[in-house]
Amino acid sequence: MEPQVLIEQPNGRHTLYASVEQDDRTAYLYLFPAELQSKKYKMRACWLRNLLPAPEVKDLAAMHNGTAPMLQRKFCNHPDGREPLKAELLEIVWLPEDDGAAVLYDGEILGVIPGWSLYVDEAVAYAADCIGVEGDDFLVLPLGDPETNQQYANVGRAVAFRNQWNSVEEPVWPQIQENFINCYEAHFGKMLQYFAIDNNEWPPMAMGKFEKDHVVYFLTMGASIRPMPWVSYLYNDTSEAYRRMELALAVDKHAYSEEEIMKMAESIATMADIPWRHISWLGEGHTIGSSKLPEPFESMVLSSALYNGDAIQLPEMYGDKVNLFWASPVTQKEREFAHRKPNGGYELLEIMIQKDMTHVVKKRKSVL
């Protein structure tokens, strides 16, 4: 029997697809990348259940035939097989980073593929019906119970997050929007213009324009609603300090024309969604190319360290710190310097700061 797709759902930016497939032997949750991401990331699979009596030994024949293998008898809680899954009881839940997903069956977690599974060589997944593994050669890990596995809490938060944003009785965005505008106005004066930068896609994102002491400021709001991909894998227990960000730009209005300033602002607006469009993340010292910058610049470097004004305490988002990264234009030579070795962006920023550069963009020569 050919596998049947019982449910399929893309993440928010259609960079990954989650599906549950079932044949006459097994049911699986799959996470597979869209075509543009297929060279960077591999498909991930999560065994969900056997529909026939489980084999005593590893199902090598299925693997050699290119079909989904059954889980060994001693590792599953239904050695004689379970009934086929019913499509109408299945539900896909994407984790807020949009790089991992869970499948619920009649409201209960059946399987989870965490986002960090994309970034490691050996795929990792958790299934409720798996009760054990042996050695390093395994199909899936036991989901266990809420006391022993963090995945329960992760999926629970994802469900609550989704339900909150689906609620029409209590819209979330107006309060977030107000909190950020109040914060920005306290530092940079009354907001002069408001730009929606979300392309009518969820989540809502915007950018405010401000002016103070002949400097024009642009600051985003809403990017921090979602935690960024990759960060929980890279930072583990301290990820809550790094996984949310907003972007800012400050330009000396005496140095650049209104048209040049607005083009630079456009580049910031398009950068705000990069982590989810590319399954990546933004942090201190990262560089991003842009065709909207005045010569001789061709990229932006992001930094909170460049900022030398009064401390700005952004509103927390879901209990996490939100980092504000200021974008500063850099030349091709400077970008190449930053890319020549790991953390080269930090070195570039150190040189820029030594040359008395700040978050305010002015005309300048290359620092190298």
Q: pLDDT tens, 57-115?
A: 888 888 788 889 999 999 999 999 999 999 999 999 999 999 999 999 999 999 999 99
Helices 344-354 and 332-339: crossing angle, nearest 10°?
Answer: 130
The pLDDT of residue 193 is above 90: yes
The whole-number pLDDT of residue 137 equals: 62
Q: Does residue 143 carry a pLDDT above 70?
A: yes
Domain assignment present for 87: yes
For residue 204, give both structure tokens. Answer: 């809502």
Q: How far apart are CA 129 and CA 114, in angstroms?
A: 17
**Structural domain includes residue 40:** yes
Per-residue pLDDT, averaged over 195-213, amounts to 97
Same domain, 183 and 96: no
Same domain? 36 vs 128: yes
Least confident of 25-34, 67-76, 133-142, 283-292: 133-142
Please, are residues 265 and 218 in contact by the beta-carbon 8 Å criterion?
yes
Average pLDDT rounded to a whole number, residues 131-159: 89
Are residues 135 and 205 located together in one domain of the fold? no
Is there a single domain that holds both residue 159 and residue 180? no
Give the end of a domain, one of 166, 193, 220.
Answer: 166
Q: Does the residue 368 lie in any domain?
A: no
- Judge if 119 and 222 occupy the same domain: no
One domain for residues 157 and 183: no
222 contacts: CB under 8 Å, gap ≥ 6: 173, 176, 177, 180, 197, 198, 203, 204, 205, 206, 272
Same domain, 85 and 135: yes
- Could you say which of 166, 193, 212 is where a domain stops? 166
Question: 233 with 253, same domain?
Answer: yes
Contact 329, 251 (CB under 8 A): no
Containing structural domain, residue 208: 173-361
**Domain-ending residue, one of 131, 166, 201:** 166
- Per-residue pLDDT of 165-184, as tens digits, reads 998 888 999 999 999 999 99
Residue 215 within any structural domain of the chain: yes
* Whether residues 177 and 156 fall in one domain: no
Read off the pLDDT of residues 289-337 as tens digits, 9 standing for 90 and up: 999 999 999 999 999 999 999 999 999 999 999 999 999 999 999 999 9
Q: Give the residue carrying structure tokens 């809490």.
A: 153
| Domain annotation covers residue 41 | yes
Quick one: pLDDT band at residue 267, thresholds 50, 70, 90? very high
Does 45 fall in a domain?
yes
Q: What is the mean pLDDT of residues 48-59?
A: 94
Question: 98 in the Ramachandran plot: left (φ > 0), alpha (ψ -120 to 50) or beta?
Answer: left
Same-domain pairing of 282 and 210: yes
Place of tokens 């024309």: 257
Q: What is the pLDDT of residue 136?
A: 65
Is 366 a domain residue? no
Task: Please write the tens of the pLDDT for every residue from 100-123.
Answer: 999 999 999 999 999 999 999 988
Q: 88 and 228: one domain?
A: no
Mean pLDDT of 349-356: 96
332 in the same domain as 198? yes
Domain count for the chain, please give it. 2
